[in-house]
Amino acid sequence: MRVFKFDKNKGTKENLDLSGENAIANKETAGLSQSQIVLKRFLRHRAAVFSVGMLVSIIIFVFSAIDSKIGPISINGWWKHKTDDLPPLLYEGCPGGTVGCPTISMRPKWLGGAGIALGEHPFGQDDIGRDYFALVMRGAQRSVMVMFIIGFFAATIGIVVGAIAGYFRGWIDAVLMRFTDFIITIPSVIIGAVIGAKFGNLGAAVLAVYLGLFAWTGLSRLVRGEFLSLREREFVDAARVAGASARRIIFKHILPNAVGVIIVSVTLLLSGAILLETALSYLGFGVVSPDVSLGLLISNYQAAFSTRPWLFWYPGFFIIAIALSINFIGDGLRDAFDPRQKRAISKKERLRAMVGIRNKE
């Protein structure tokens, strides 16, 4: 049995042989639309699917824990403390005469522990007694928000600049790409620091917008490359002959075909953004006190590591958990969108193919 599948990257019809070498891999995609294939492939990447669940639950948990405001929606947190409460510092049962240690207990009673309980201050307290759980939640909210704002601005600008440069070519391309080059020459930490020093005290959101205005360069180059090759294809000619405007061709015809590259690159941009924010806050150029961010918390308490390590561990875990899930989602998407990607074929499948048992799916 022979099936023809259109290969987006090569622009040719690829002959898919369902009885040959790649039989198992190719049979699965026969008769499915592009988005179905992508979804199917993505769901197969277990780490990526797990990461989506992880990221979504972290975001829901973090934003519902303490009072937060997303645009017009205000959420009242379920956690008893707020970031500016000043409860008394607890010191019972703390190791080595320290104060404000975490009260969280993960060891069940039947294993000889205190039972699974959060206690009064699950992540401990900071120097002046503020609840560290609330602070970490606030910090994670800030970091997630900054990440999405940077991602949104960078993606929008990057796509528009790249699309225009790639589609129109000529002097427009030259001007836009030289402009991109010059933003690239300024290292992102330098831009961040200069912006942070000026706008850091206006709040995390403003800082994020400005950072987003400088973070689009890599994406725009990528989109441009994709547009340069896609604009030569027949469907673009067809659209042009049919009288479509440039705007329509760019956004309705070419852009959906470039979406794979864009999505992958944007996810990686997001994980870069969260690390950039923490790095800047660490250097003191990002989010500044009294506002809270994960990088700032680590920076404040790094010296306390040997005596009160929890002040250092918890914010770090949240940074890593968020960045790691995004990286895995990006990897899953890359595999899902890449038509050349072959999946691992298990021994059972190979054996079945060899003895000629038809896979019932």
Partner 1 sequence: MLAYVIRRLGILFLILFGSSFILYNLAAISGDPIGELRFSDDPGAAQAIIDLTRQLSLDVPPPLRYFIWLKGVVGIFWGKADFGLTRDSLSVATEIGNAIPVSIRLVFVATFVAIVIGIAIGIASALRQYSRFDYSMTFFAFLLFSLPIFWVAVLLKQYMAIQFNNFLSEPKIPFGWLLTLSSLTAVFWASVLTRSRGKFWMTFSTVFISTAVLIKTLETLEWFTNPRLGPIAVFIFSIVIAFAVTHLSVGLSNRTALNSSLTMSVFTLGWYFAIQPIFNSQISLLQILGLGVVVILVATITALFFSRIDRGPLIRTTVLTALLSAFLIVVDKYMRTWSSYMSEDAVNYRPVPTFGQSKPLLPQEDYWIRTLDILVHLLLPTIALTLISLAGYVRFSRGTLLEVLNQDYIRTARAKGLTERTVIMRHAFRNTLIPLTTILVADVVGIIGGAIITERVFGWYGMGTLFNRAISTVDLNLLMGVFFITATLAVLANLIADLLYSALDPRIRAGSGK
Q: State the minimum distance, in angstroms, from the CB of residue 81 to partner 1.
A: 25
Among 31, 112, 185, 290, binds partner 1 (CB under 8 A): 185
The answer to whether 102 touches 121, Cβ cutoff 8 Å, is yes
Crossing angle of the two packed helices 132-168 and 204-212, in degrees rounded to 10: 20
Q: How many other β-carbons are positioned within 10 Å of the β-carbon of residue 295?
A: 28
- Cα separation of 24 and 47, whole Å? 22
DSSP state of 13: E
151 is an interface residue for partner 1 by CB under 8 A: no
Q: State the minimum distance, in angstroms, from the CB of residue 109 to partner 1.
A: 27
Residue 103 vs 180, nearer CB to partner 1: 180
Q: In this structure, which long-range contacts are made by residues 3-9, counting pairs with CB atoms below 8 Å and at least 24 apart in sequence? A: 3/30, 3/31, 5/29, 5/30, 7/339, 8/34, 8/257, 8/339, 9/339, 9/340
351 is an interface residue for partner 1 by CB under 8 A: no
Among 271, 273, 293, 339, binds partner 1 (CB under 8 A): 271
- How many helices (H) and strands (E) would you count in the chain? 14, 4
- Cα separation of 126 and 36, whole Å? 49
Among 123, 227, 285, 310, binds partner 1 (CB under 8 A): 285
Among 320, 350, 351, 359, binds partner 1 (CB under 8 A): 320
- Cα separation of 353 and 349, whole Å? 6
Helix (H) or strand (E) segment spanning residue 16: strand 12-17
Among 54, 323, 333, 336, binds partner 1 (CB under 8 A): 323
Q: State the minimum distance, in angstroms, from the CB of residue 226 to partner 1.
A: 15
The answer to whether 121 touches 90, Cβ cutoff 8 Å, is yes
Among 42, 123, 282, 310, binds partner 1 (CB under 8 A): 282
306 is an interface residue for partner 1 by CB under 8 A: yes
- Hey, which residues does 75 pair with through a beta bridge? 68
Of 9-17, 91-99, 151-159, 275-283: span binding partner 1 (CB under 8 A): 275-283
- Cα separation of 212 and 158, whole Å? 10
Q: State the minimum distance, in angstroms, from the CB of residue 59 to partner 1.
A: 16
Residue 12 vs 74, nearer CB to partner 1: 12
295 is an interface residue for partner 1 by CB under 8 A: yes
Of 108-116, 117-125, 150-158, 278-286: span binding partner 1 (CB under 8 A): 278-286
Q: State the minimum distance, in angstroms, from the CB of residue 194 to partner 1.
A: 5
- Hey, which residues does 131 pair with through a beta bridge? 125
Q: Which residues bind partner 1 (CB under 8 A)?
A: 47, 169, 178, 181-187, 189-191, 193-195, 197-198, 228, 271, 275, 278-279, 282-285, 295, 298-299, 302, 305-306, 312, 316, 319-320, 323-324, 327-328, 331, 340, 344
